[in-house]
Every structure is written in structure tokens, then in C-alpha cells.
Amino acid sequence: AAETGIDGWLRYAPVPNANASGLPINIVSLNATANGPVHAAASELQKGLSGIFNHSLNVIYPTSYQLSDTASSIVVGTVAEYANAFGAAPKTPQLENDGYFLNTTGSRVQILGRNERGALYGAFQYLSMLAQGNFSEVAYTSNPDAPIRWVNQWDNLDGSIERGYGGPSIFFSNGTVKINSLDRMTQYARLLASIGVNAIVVNNVNANASILTTQNVEGLGKIADTFRPYGVRVGISLNFASPTANLVYGNLSTFDPLDSEVIDWWQNVTDTLYARIPDMAGYLVKANSEGQPGPLTYNRTLAEGANLFANALEPHGGILVFRAFVYDSQHLNESVWTQDRANAAVEFFTGLDGKFAENALVQIKYGPIDFQVREPASPLFAYLRNTSTAIELEVTQEYLGQQNHLVYLPPLWKTVLDFDLRANHSKSLVRDIISGERFNRPMGGYAAVVNVGTNNTWLGSHLSMSNLYGYGRLAWDPTSDPQAILQDWIRLTFGLDPAVMRAITNMSMASWPAYENYTGNLGIQTLTDILYTHYGPNPQSQDNNPWGQWTRADHDSIGMDRTVANGTGFAGQYPDEVAAVYENISTTPDNLLLWFHHVNYTTRLHSGETVIQHFYNAHYAGAETAQTFPTQWEALQGKVDAQRYNETLFRLTYQAGHSIVWRDAINNFYHNLSGIADAQGRVGNH
């Protein structure tokens, strides 16, 4: 049968050894909010079990059941309601908010949450087990590592999506909410809930004030009504200068965050939003970055700007997320050796630690520049100790092949999540900082820019969905193994055939190293076009641009000197132990050498190769790996339905070709620039 991909990993395909005779008789949905997550869990269980076992179960509700109906049943709901129904609280060890207890050992399967959302997550987990052919008996509690597990959409109100590669927006067109296509939103909500995502910011951080019109507030209300049954709260991005836009709330002549009229204006807007969306997640704000307005216009600090919104949200329980991606793109000048965009975040936030309201959160891109193929962890994670933080990841593959290339990202994300920043000379893993644990913060967590669109594959490519799935799984438990996550996704998405498992595992696990090899190596950045598309090789664009994404490549040497001793001083933004590692060439890992140091092409790496020969070799190796993808996939013909087989083959074939374009473009560029021959005689001989 044709598979469009629209169900993603929630296909509930029949499982070969699934035996319906072992199933309980009923699904019991405990007393819960009408149309809330417990109800969604019950219908999801019904749908899933009917797909997996080809057997349909009744859902019964507390008003209608006799206790005898529950003897052989799947009981889903909150722990409190379970105690109400059965007279005794079950033992659910260490259950926290959004966590679930799953017990399949008795004739009464228990799927219990501390809250309703947790019960829904437990139901998805139970179905995930069964859909993977795992019928074992389990009894355990699972809690999320962090409370904030959000996605960001960069959808514009006209329906376009900034850095979106899966078609136009499912949320907006012509300046308003697509209230006639709520189905796609429901399907998206299911996918997000199934991986533990609990909020979505629906519009672009490059925000337009018109998100706040009366009509759009009502439209946002409809979006929130659609996501609410899945426990996914809705948030919005704000334009800082909205008070001066001509909206119904009155047109002010200032957007100064300390002006009392401005404060009242935002309070009024916020109250209006909460009147329609009482559980709104909060606001996301990009300010004073890439031309966006912000508090600095009025000589107010970023924290004062953030707190303007945090204070308006506070009475409603909302969260203000303030992006750390602040830099001055207009005045970066490469002829000044010490200038460095990487320094911007810590510089802009200097002196602000502890100045943010308790319900504010600073959202930090994983690296100091911008979602590159490899970056060191942002030092801001260690700088902010009295401020709650979240990491910002990118599922949409902006610099990483825009879904035309298979690049499985969780291994990249893990390099940052697992990095030890050694704050105060003690263990300070990024993942323990953002969970709130390391610096004892009340909240923190994860955001991913996802940018799904109306394409049936959501992201534009079937295989890219492993990145969305992997995001949710890592945000729930960042200690999980990326390959194990991937393999769950493969079983759920493509079934249980071992050949399918082998091929997609091999390709996916090889894909990020290959992409790094045929694009930018040794921490030089991705080397893609930086000026506009962020796609395809364009190493010459990596210098003399106003964005401050530079390589400083000349005839003899390459790399950004970010040392304190001779360079931009960026290395000194890290806590001492880490700073010392990066300050020194001999202790800097090869894969970040050119991020931290400016060296000759003939400099030898720890590996023994020279920098330039490493470039040449890596580009050949990366492209060679990509050449194996189409053939690995072709072995799956007949094992994957024709539609997904063909669509994927098309992309992998393209990737194989484009990897050669990348290889030759980059190698020829540095060969011409350096005049150094490839020891193996390949480069420049075409």
C-alpha cells in the first residue's frame, strides 16, 4: 500500500507476531478533563491496538463501567483518579510531572500519569513497545529530564516558512490562521505528544506585530484548542516594537520597555490572549538581533526587555523565552583581527545573570555561531548560573543539506549535551545545566526549530523525520543512545525487517560524519553559502561578509584565532579548565582546531596529517560514503512500500551526486588558494 509518510512513526502497522488473544478486553479511560489528554490517550490506544493487532477494543468511561469490566483492561488516567476509582493508590515510584508509570505485568495494564499529559505519554510509550513487537512485561516509571520540551516553528503569517523545506505553513496563510485545515495541526500534535513535546511556538521569531490582531488571537485560540487534547500548549513569538504598529490595542509612539504606557499595552495584550487561551505557554522573543527591534534602542538591558513580557505573563503562569542569539550583524569588520561574532552572546549577557524574572528563560543555540556542522558548546551555558536556560537545536537542516541530504543529527547534538563545561572546576554537563540540576534552577530544557510544512512527509524527506523523533527522545532523556533511538524510529516507521534496520542504521549513523567530511572540516564551519541560501558549497562567501561567519583563509593559513593570547579572546569565555584546553593548539581536539586557531595549511594535526591533506582526504572519504547510500537503499526494494522507496531513493541519489559537487568545490577552492598539491594526486586534475 502507498505510504505518504503523514503518520510519521505513528503508523501502527500490523506486527507479525502480535496475538490479539493476549490483549485485555477493555480500555478504561479514567475520569478526566473532557477532550483532554486522557481522552486522547484512550482513543490513541484504541486506534493503535486495532492497527497493530487488527482487533478493536471498547473504550469505557467511569460513568459507564462496572468494576468487573476492569479486570482485564488497559486503565489509563492520573494516579489520583486511579485511587478514586479503585480505592487505593497504586505504587508509582518517583512519579513526577509529565512522567508516567507503565505496568503491563497484571491482567490490568496500568498507564498512569501524575498529570493527564503524563498518562498520554505512557499510552504512546505502551503503543511504541507493541508496535515494535515488544510484548514483554514491564513495570517502571519514566520522568522527563527537563520541564521545557518545546518546538519552534519559523512560520510567517503569509504562509511561507523561514528555513522551512517541507512546503508552506500548516498554520498560516494570507496573514491569518488556517482555521479550515485543523487536521494537519491535529496530526502534528499527535506526533509531538508521542515524543513528549509539551509546547509549540507557532510563528517565526522574526515576528510580525499582526499576530496580535483580534482575528489572529481568535485563530491562535483555535490552534490552541487543537493542540490542547495532546497536552501541547501554544506559545507565540513577539515583535518587540508591536506597540508602535497600528493595531487595535492602540498605537504608541514608543516601545521602551520601562515606559508605563508600553507596560500597560503589553499587559492588556497578554490578558486578551489569556482570555482566549487560558493555558498559553508563553512568549518567545528575538530582540536586537539581525535587524529586529529590542530594548537596546532605548538603552535598556536585554533583561529589562525580557522582564517586560515576563511580568505580563506572570499572573497567568506563562513563561517568557528570550533568545540568546543576539549579535550586531551590521558592524562586524573582518579586518579587525579581534572581532568575533562568537563572542557576542556572552558579551551581550555580561552583567545580566540573575537579572531575569523567575518565569524567564534564556534560549541558547547549541554553539556560539549558528547551527554549524560542528561547534563547541556555547560558553553562555556556563556563564548564566542564576538564570534558567534552554538549548536551541535545529531539526530543520538549514546549513545541513535542507533535507536533500540525509544527516542524522542526534550524534551532533550529543557532542554538546554531553560536554563538560567544568564550571567551578566541577562536573557541569550542558544537559545537567539546562535541566536545572547543575545550578539548581527551577526550570530549563529544550527547544528545537522544526519547521514542518504541508508536505506529506512533514519535513520534505521521510528519513529526516528521525531527527524530529530523536529530538523529542533526547529532550526526555538526554542520556539515551542516539543509535538506539534511531532504531526505535526505524521499526516504527519502516517495520521490523532486519535488512531495513541494517541499511537505515548504517546510512544514518554514517551520515553526519560524512556530511562533515564533504563540507567543512576541523571546525572551520559548514562552508556553505552564507550570504543567502545556506545551501551548497560556497567557501568564498565565508569571508568579508557582514554576518561575522569567517574562516580567515589566505594563501598560507586558515582558521579563526580565538585565543586570549593572540586572538579574539573567545576561548577565555569558558571556565578555566575548558579555556586552557582551547587556548592551546596542542590540547585542542583536531575537529575544532580551526575554530580556535589560525594555522598554516601545512600544520600537522594530532592525526599526523597536515591540515590541507586532511581537507582533501576527508572530502573524498565523505563523498565516498554518500556514494554507498543509493546502493544500500536499493537493496530494500520490495521491503519498503513503493512510494517511500522511490521518494527516498530520489533524495539519496541526489545526495550522492551533490556530495561530489561539494567535494570538488571545496578541494579545488583550497587547492587554488594554497597551491599545495594533494599527496594522492586527485585534486585539480579534473
Q: Which residues bind ligand GCW (CB under 6 A)?
A: 154, 162-163, 205-206, 286, 325, 370
CB of residue 282 to ligand GCW, shortest distance in Å: 18
Q: How far apart are alpha carbons 465 and 481 in whole angstroms? A: 17
**Helices within 233-359 (DSSP H only):** 260-276, 302-313, 344-349
C-alpha distance from residue 317 to each of 228, 340, 663 (Å): 16, 38, 51
Reported for 256-265, long-range contacts at CB under 8 A and 24+ positions apart, including other chains, are 256/295, 256/297, 256/298, 256/300, 257/295, 257/298, 257/300, 257/304, 257/305, 257/307, 257/308, 258/298, 258/300, 258/304, 258/308, 262/308, 263/308, 263/311, 263/312
Strand blocks (E) in 573-638 = 599-600
Active-site annotation holder among 290, 314, 420, 543: 290
Residue entry with cell 492497527: 51
| Torsion of Cα atoms, 43 then 46 then 48 then 52, to 10° | -170
Active-site annotation holder among 44, 398, 488, 583: 398
Which H or E run contains 119?
helix 116-131
Active-site annotation holder among 81, 370, 488, 561: 370
Q: Any residues with CB less than 8 A from the CB of 357 and at least 6 apart, and which?
A: 306, 307, 310, 311, 314, 320
CB of residue 281 to ligand GCW, shortest distance in Å: 19
10 Å CB burial of residue 479 (0-12, 13-18, 19+) is: exposed
Q: At what angle do helices 182-194 and 214-227 cross, to 10 degrees?
A: 50
Asked about 398 being catalytic, the answer comes back as yes
Asked about 437 being catalytic, the answer comes back as no
Which residue of the chain is nearest ligand GCW when measured via CB? 370
Q: DSSP secondary-structure letter at 528?
A: B
Asked about 290 being catalytic, the answer comes back as yes
CB of residue 210 to ligand GCW, shortest distance in Å: 17
How many CA atoms lie less than 13 Å away from 177 in the CB half-sphere? 23
First to last CA, the chain: 45
Q: How far apart are alpha carbons 347 and 309 in whole angstroms? A: 23
Pairing of strands 26-29, 58-60: parallel
CB of residue 398 to ligand GCW, shortest distance in Å: 6
Q: How far apart are alpha carbons 139 and 151 in whole angstroms? A: 30
Closer residue to ligand GCW in complex, CB, 154/172: 154
Question: Is residue 81 a contact partner of residue 31, using CB atoms and an 8 Å limit?
Answer: yes
- As given in the structure block, the three cell numbers for residue 639 are 521491503
CB of residue 286 to ligand GCW, shortest distance in Å: 5
- As given in the structure block, the three cell numbers for residue 301 are 538591558
How many CA atoms lie less than 13 Å away from 352 in the CB half-sphere? 23
CB of residue 360 to ligand GCW, shortest distance in Å: 18
Q: How far apart are alpha carbons 68 and 70 in whole angstroms? A: 5
- DSSP structure string for 631-682: HHHHTTBTTB-HHHHHHHHHHHHHHHHHHHHHHHHHHHHHHHHH-PPPTTS-
Question: Is residue 544 a contact partner of residue 559, using CB atoms and an 8 Å limit?
Answer: no
Residues serving a catalytic function are 290, 370, 398
